């Protein structure tokens, strides 16, 4: 479910990051207000735990293995806000240190796995286990349902993000610029894979882990209950803000025309009635540069123009590669000087 960079447009990544900002801010505030200073090592260990159990191979009936995310278990034990923080940190380590999931698509991955998954799992578990004993069978059965539904919902969100790409970003000829599968294919594909394999794995692992804790370490199951907020924290503004963002997001995504700030000179003329002089000059220079990309006298046909462009591109590539090499060379010479002076 980790979406690498390149599948989502930068615009989508920016929107998902913007949606996650209030969630991260609230999670830090919420965890700080409920666990006080103790939360730093607890969240660090929680994130390390989240990272490590994502690597556990869980045997499945067909003889192969699958991986669980463990987000549901974390949400049930520590609460959804703490789980958000733990999984976010685990995802950051995966993206920065192991290249698992993109840097630009970090916001989208966090939305699916560190927000939708723990929150949906937590509330399903809470609703199903109301007034139940720590040792009740309802707890681990609810754990299964929470884990199963949580991961499927997260997968559907990932499917929607991927499926929106060809709808919103394609060339005039219909070539999708990012993920090529539309909603009608991306959502069912993601949902099916998680309904059949990843969902049951997450559900079973969560249920068995809760069952084991009931027998051997029941106090772990009441950690979240003990931590009542030490001071009131105003969430109303955050939720209103998030609701506004949620309402405006589709409008921004579905808006037609060029992206803001990417208008051509003609579009600017339509918008403001004239073309600023500086822009007109820049536009002319840009076209002049475009002409210069070709080879003079070798731009009669498309083929000749294409060959000219390729030649110009190769010269450009060689030039920037040479500069890159010179940067490296400069450093080597500096190192030599340092060693000689020593």
Partner 1 sequence: MCPKCFKLSFTKSTKPGFLEKTINELNNVMKEEFVAGKIASRHGLLQNLDPRINFLATLLLIISANFIHQPLVLLFFNFWVIWLAKVSLVPLGSFLKKIWLVVPLFTGVMVIPTIFSPFLPGEPLLILFQLPHPVQVLFWQIPQVISITKQGVLAAVVLVLRVGICVSLSLLLTLTTKWSLLLKALSKICIPTIFITILEMAHRYIYLLLQTTVDMFTAKKSRSVGHTTTGEERKFVSNSMSILLGKSYFISNEVYSAMLSRGYNGNTLVLTEFKLKAFDWLWLFFIIIVCLFFIGGDHLFVWK
Q: Which member of 23, 47, 87, 190 binds partner 1 (CB under 8 A)? A: 47
Site string for partner 1, 152-191 (x = CB under 8 A): --------------x----x-xxxxxxxxx--xx------
End-to-end CA distance of the chain: 52
Measured at the CA of 283, the angle between CA 281 and CA 284, to 5 degrees, comes to 65
Name which of 133, 136, 115, 103 is nearest 3 in CA terms: 103
Asked if residues 30 and 81 have their Cβ atoms less than 8 Å apart, the reply is: yes
CA dihedral angle for residue 78, residue 82, residue 84, residue 85, rounded to 10 degrees: -140
Q: Which member of 160, 168, 220, 307 binds partner 1 (CB under 8 A)? A: 220
C-beta closer to partner 1: residue 52 or 272? 52
Q: Which member of 1, 51, 84, 124 binds partner 1 (CB under 8 A)? A: 51
Q: Which stretch binds partner 1 (CB under 8 A): 127-135, 203-211, 237-245, 270-278?
A: 203-211
Instruction: Find tokens 């556990």 and name the residue.
Output: 56
Please provide the DSSP assignment of 231-295 as one string. S----HHHHHHHHHHHHHHHHHHH--SSPTT---HHHHHHHHSS--HHHHHHHHHHHHHHHHHS-
Least spacing, CB of residue 130 vs partner 1, in Å? 23
Name which of 320, 319, 295, 316 is nearest 306 in CA terms: 295
Least spacing, CB of residue 10 vs partner 1, in Å? 5
Classify 57 as helix, strand or coil.
strand
Q: Which stretch binds partner 1 (CB under 8 A): 227-235, 239-247, 265-273, 324-332?
A: 324-332
Least spacing, CB of residue 234 vs partner 1, in Å? 20
Query: What is d(CA 72, CA 147) in angstroms, rounded to the nearest whole number?
Result: 5
Q: What is the largest CA-CA distance in the chain?
A: 86
C-beta closer to partner 1: residue 105 or 112? 105
C-beta closer to partner 1: residue 260 or 302? 302
Asked if residues 204 and 151 have their Cβ atoms less than 8 Å apart, the reply is: no
Q: What is the DSSP letter of 55?
A: T
Least spacing, CB of residue 273 vs partner 1, in Å? 26
Instruction: Find tokens 């993000």 and name the residue.
Output: 161
Q: Which of residues 291-310 bind partner 1 (CB under 8 A)?
A: 293, 302, 309-310
C-beta closer to partner 1: residue 53 or 116? 53
Counting residues that bind partner 1 (by CB under 8 A) gives 96
Please provide the DSSP assignment of 278-299 as one string. HHHHHHHHHHHHHHHHS-TT--
C-beta closer to partner 1: residue 229 or 273? 229
Q: Which of residues 86-115 bind partner 1 (CB under 8 A)?
A: 89-90, 92-93, 95-99, 102-104
C-beta closer to partner 1: residue 127 or 313? 313
Least spacing, CB of residue 248 vs partner 1, in Å? 23
Q: Is 216 in the site for partner 1 (CB under 8 A)?
A: yes
Q: Which of residues 233-292 bind partner 1 (CB under 8 A)?
A: 289-290
Query: What is d(CA 290, CA 67) in angstroms, rounded to the nearest whole number?
Result: 51
C-beta closer to partner 1: residue 221 or 243? 221
C-beta closer to partner 1: residue 173 or 247? 173
């Amino acid at each position: 479910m980790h979406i690498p960079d390149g599948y989502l447009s930068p615009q989508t990544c920016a929107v998902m990051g913007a949606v996650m900002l209030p969630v991260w801010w609230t999670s830090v505030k919420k965890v700080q207000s409920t666990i006080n200073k103790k939360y730093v090592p607890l969240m660090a260990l929680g994130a390390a735990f989240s990272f490590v159990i994502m690597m556990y191979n869980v045997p499945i009936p067909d003889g192969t293995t699958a991986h669980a995310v463990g987000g549901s278990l974390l949400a049930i034990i520590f609460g959804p806000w703490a789980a958000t923080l733990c999984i976010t940190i685990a995802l950051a380590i995966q993206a920065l240190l192991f290249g698992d999931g993109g840097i630009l698509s970090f916001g989208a991955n966090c939305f699916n796995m560190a927000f939708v998954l723990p929150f949906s799992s937590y509330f399903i578990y809470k609703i199903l286990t109301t007034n139940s004993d720590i040792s009740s069978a309802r707890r681990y059965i609810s754990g299964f349902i929470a884990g199963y539904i949580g991961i499927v919902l997260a997968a559907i969100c990932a499917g929607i993000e991927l499926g929106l790409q060809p709808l919103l970003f394609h060339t005039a000829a219909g070539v999708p610029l990012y993920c090529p599968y539309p909603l009608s294919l991306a959502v069912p594909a993601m949902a099916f894979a998680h309904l059949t394999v990843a969902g049951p794995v997450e559900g079973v692992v969560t249920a068995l882990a809760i069952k084991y804790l009931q027998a051997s370490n029941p106090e772990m199951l009441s950690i979240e209950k003990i931590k009542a907020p030490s001071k009131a924290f105003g969430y109303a503004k955050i939720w209103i803000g998030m609701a506004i963002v949620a309402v405006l997001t589709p409008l921004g995504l579905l808006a037609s025309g060029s992206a803001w700030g990417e208008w051509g000179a003609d579009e600017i003329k339509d918008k403001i009635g004239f073309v600023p002089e500086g822009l007109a000059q820049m536009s002319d220079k840009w076209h002049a540069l475009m002409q210069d990309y070709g080879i003079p006298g070798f731009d009669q046909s498309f083929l000749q123009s294409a060959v000219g462009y390729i030649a110009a591109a190769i010269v450009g590539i060689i030039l920037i590669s040479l500069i890159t090499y010179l940067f490296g060379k400069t450093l080597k010479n500096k190192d030599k000087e340092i060693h000689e002076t020593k």
